[in-house]
Structure 1
């Protein structure tokens, strides 16, 4: 049996006549009669008796009606859901991001949800290694890390590579500069990221090439903490543009002349293919990151 046969049976039970049922379903009367005949054949039951030109349901039809109604309504819901999934309106996406990317995710996620109004987004924030673990064990659909992950259980790809920026307290002397150079950092109080951070090592390497020693006053493992220290007047810092953009109303953000890359890697389980909604999320985020 198929959905059309069950739909025809339900319509005929509701309306009582072939004419009304066929009009309800927008099909011809012969088509409706064929659906009923085929259903009776497959079930090996008589579902209707003809009396005085009308079809009268058998007792067996009354027994089947509730279950058929449940199936038809369920199929209708399934079709609506399939339509929503194809149009990227429904679905659930669980994301784990490291703090720098997470700082700009709320605004992006709200915009994405407005375009996909029946989608559910689950946003988690952890360090890069924890994010990779969650993706490998399929506890999240996708993870974003600041470094490549060498784990055979995951697929890891570079999503975005952009240059780090210089962040300064509001009104700082360098705030009006078109671009901050390594020489500009000489004797400036500096807020450094943790010694294990790749960008920290890149900054030290660049400044070392220019003969400049950092005057480090604060160290932190989080870009958003660096932004808070800068906003409080603790010094200047070189960080990723993602977190910097989230703090742009409280600090000044300027380009940095030397190339200090800020990488974002996407990590997902090798055992699962991404859903259409997840693919749309990742592509939209790729565009946002590269335009930050």
Structure 2
């Protein structure tokens, strides 16, 4: 069964629909380890390079964005629990290839090891397989990751919006924001539900500003959300959205021009440090 980012628990509840409560209760198990950003495990340069490599493979192999998203999710969770020696850059590339391989298997996306080899490092299938097992062990075999996507429908349904077309547009825009925001370091500290809520609120501010206050209040009323974390995440998300809009032409053409995923991501990282 192909893993659906919007329906992460489906295989476990084939006979009985799971509740949103189960998602809220389990989401923390699918995040990087606590204090990841402040630990010795976190290396900004390593993370930047790793995500750049994943994006390169995504565009060179024309992968669905969900495959890259899932691979980055595995990468963050693994790196938060297993330190990668900085003197062994080839090991980071092996981890990247293995995360992509696992994500493609979860999404039933045809992708051979030869398709995702990274320049300068050629790994045998057996080597990648051993690293996959190491990653699976570190993640406690939780591969059906709970991401922000399954929370979108819940939060939209909790509002007073009646127009189905508006709901769909909001969901699509929020999904786009989530995909774009996945590269932002600061978002790693927020729960998937908080990211989903923030993305919808940011999307409503852009698409239906007259209903922004109502929609924000409806979503913020959810007892599973921390008001302070939500406010901070919304501010971060809206900052990212405004920056993206201001630089839309550059971002949309970056992978078709002389810029590389590395340079685009590095520019984004530098912007966040200002």
TM-score if structure 1 supplies the norm length?
Answer: 0.23
- Structure number with higher helix proportion: 2
Hey, which of these two has a bigger chunk of strand by percent? 1
Question: Which of 1 and 2 has greater Rg?
Answer: 1
